């Protein structure tokens, strides 16, 4: 009993010596914090940090009372960390242009400006200026979408998965949808077409086999319960070898003979012929409409190069039916998305200048020679930063990819800066370098190829070069011990 009292006395004294919340709020340093973060946030920080100190004292892991200055330093760190935005800008040197985990399409300056203006001022989102009454927000982009795709009508929701879900719920609830077995795709995050159909209330009817589907498979699957025939562009994989798929115009003929719609999901669809820019071919909504598709869905933030959106274009009567579905309001987009989408669509009215003005296309059409020149310019500074480490640097021809399920087997000739270990110590240093770069104030994201750390230069824009050099040099300095 006596020993217990002796043990408790120091702990109780330590607890008693802790400053009060009010005392810390009145401290001189707190006045600066109040201006930066506000009273509620500062009070929260003080209480939390005092509680952590109490817990350490009570557990016996803290044997001396921290000074007020020590406590204020921890409060400052806590406030600064809390205030930092979670959505950080990164330098994407992975070689994947449309990187889903890094935000997909980088939007052009015209689009960014339109988004900022819509965000900072009132705009006529659902207001008909001509009639002076409530309007339809889809009208902001419907005309230009119809112009660029050849469709009769259009509507927009928050992503392409939502577009597919909405059209199925509106047109196929408790009805059958016929799809080739080879097109039952799974997109990122384990979202599968069969699951989306089930949730939308549609019954999936699979036809053909994984590698071969024929026109008769579609024709023989049609019943009185069939609501549509659907073709899904396999944008994130390719079935090769002994294969056969039914062309869109043939499926359209089969569907229309039975007076049912033919729907095409293009996923990452682009609005232009990519081959005119020296890129691999990718199907467009205009081609699908011309082939007889009654509805086409595609994304706004992939090859199109704009904000995240799911776009539906096609027959006016079907679009109207979709828009009347209650889920349309649930899945609709706001003024920021529509402003960005309108701005990016306007760029497509001038296809000759599109590679200069559309950031995604500009990155996709970069030549290997231009990236090699960039690498040569960067190399001396980066090499200097590695002095005193067990790492070496060189340039390396590599292959970039478009990403986000677009043209999955196509690769673009690119150039990378490769950081390789010289010895066993260097192997650890390369790993540490990648971690330091990834955790820097502006993270730099590369990729590993065996033991080498690669920085693919395809997405490194001119205004990012000095930032990259500075961050790289700081990380290398930490490893060499020069700091």
- The verdict on residue 103 lying in a domain is no
Angle made by CA atoms 431, 437, 439, in degrees to the nearest 5: 100
Strand partners, 341: none
Hey, what are 300's tokens?
């706004």
Same domain, 58 and 119: no
- How many structural domains compose the chain? 3
Query: What is the predicted pLDDT for the residue at 184?
Result: 85
Same domain, 40 and 125: no
Q: Where are the alpha helices (DSSP H) in 172-281?
A: 193-200, 215-221, 248-257
Same domain, 469 and 368: yes
CA–CA dist 167, 165 (Å, integer)? 6
- The verdict on residue 104 lying in a domain is no
Cβ-Cβ contacts under 8 Å for 49 (sequence gap 6 or more): 71, 74, 75, 78
Handedness of CA 393, 399, 400, 403 (dihedral sign): negative
Same domain, 155 and 71: no
**pTM, rounded to two decimals:** 0.88
- The verdict on residue 282 lying in a domain is yes
Domain at 429, CATH number: 3.90.1150.180
Instruction: Tell me whether residue 121 is exposed, middle or buried, using C-beta atoms within 10 angstroms of its C-beta: 0 to 12, 13 to 18, 19 or more.
Output: exposed
Tell me the residue range of the domain where 250 lies.
Answer: 109-355
Same domain, 298 and 324: yes
Same domain, 386 and 475: yes
pLDDT, averaged in runs of 10, over the chain (483 residues): 48 90 95 96 97 92 89 96 92 95 94 97 92 94 98 97 96 95 74 86 92 93 97 72 85 97 92 92 95 97 96 98 97 97 97 95 96 96 95 96 71 95 96 96 95 97 97 93 61
Same domain, 277 and 153: yes
Same domain, 468 and 368: yes
Same domain, 67 and 24: yes
């Amino acid at each position: 009993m006596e020993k217990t009292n002796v043990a408790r006395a120091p702990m109780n004294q330590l607890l008693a010596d802790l400053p009060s919340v009010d005392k810390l709020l009145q401290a001189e340093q707190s006045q600066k914090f109040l201006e930066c973060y506000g009273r509620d946030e500062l009070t929260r920080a003080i209480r939390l940090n005092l509680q952590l100190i109490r817990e350490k004292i009570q557990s016996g892991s803290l044997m001396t009372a921290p000074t007020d200055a020590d406590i204020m330093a921890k409060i400052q760190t806590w406030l600064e960390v809390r205030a930092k935005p979670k959505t950080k800008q990164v330098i994407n040197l992975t070689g994947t242009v449309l990187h889903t985990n890094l935000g997909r399409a980088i939007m052009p300056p015209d689009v960014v400006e339109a988004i900022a203006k819509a965000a900072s001022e009132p705009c006529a989102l659902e207001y008909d200026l001509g009639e002076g009454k409530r309007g339809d927000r889809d009208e902001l982009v419907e005309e230009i979408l119809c112009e660029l795709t050849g469709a009769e009508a259009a509507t927009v929701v928050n992503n392409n998965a939502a577009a597919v879900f909405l059209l199925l719920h509106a047109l196929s609830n408790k009805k059958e949808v016929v799809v080739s077995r080879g097109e039952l795709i799974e997109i990122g995050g384990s979202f599968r077409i069969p699951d989306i159909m089930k949730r939308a209330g549609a019954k999936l009817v699979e036809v053909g086999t994984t590698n071969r589907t024929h026109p008769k498979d579609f024709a023989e699957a049609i019943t009185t319960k069939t609501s549509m025939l659907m073709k899904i562009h396999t944008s994130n994989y390719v079935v090769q070898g002994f294969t056969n798929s039914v062309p869109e115009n043939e499926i359209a003929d089969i569907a229309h003979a039975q007076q049912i719609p033919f729907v095409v999901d293009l996923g990452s669809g682009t609005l232009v012929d990519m081959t005119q820019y020296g890129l691999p071919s990718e199907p467009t909504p205009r081609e699908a409409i011309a082939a007889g598709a009654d509805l086409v869905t595609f994304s706004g933030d992939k090859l199109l190069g704009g904000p995240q959106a799911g776009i539906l274009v096609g027959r006016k009567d079907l679009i109207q039916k979709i828009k009347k579905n209650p889920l349309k309001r649930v899945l609709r987009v706001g003024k920021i998305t529509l402003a960005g989408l309108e701005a990016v669509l306007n760029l497509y009215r001038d296809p000759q200048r599109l590679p200069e003005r559309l950031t995604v296309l500009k990155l996709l059409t970069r030549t290997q020679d231009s990236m090699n020149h960039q690498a040569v310019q960067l190399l001396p500074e980066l090499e200097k930063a590695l002095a005193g480490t067990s790492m070496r640097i060189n340039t390396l021809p590599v292959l970039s990819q478009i990403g986000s399920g677009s043209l999955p087997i196509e690769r673009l000739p690119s150039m990378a800066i490769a950081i390789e270990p010289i010895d066993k110590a260097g192997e650890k240093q390369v790993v540490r370098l990648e971690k330091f770069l990834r955790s820097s104030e502006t993270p730099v994201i590369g990729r590993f190829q065996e033991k080498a750390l690669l920085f693919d230069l395809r997405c490194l824009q001119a205004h990012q070069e000095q930032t990259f050099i500075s961050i790289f040099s700081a990380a290398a300095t930490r490893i060499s011990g020069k700091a």
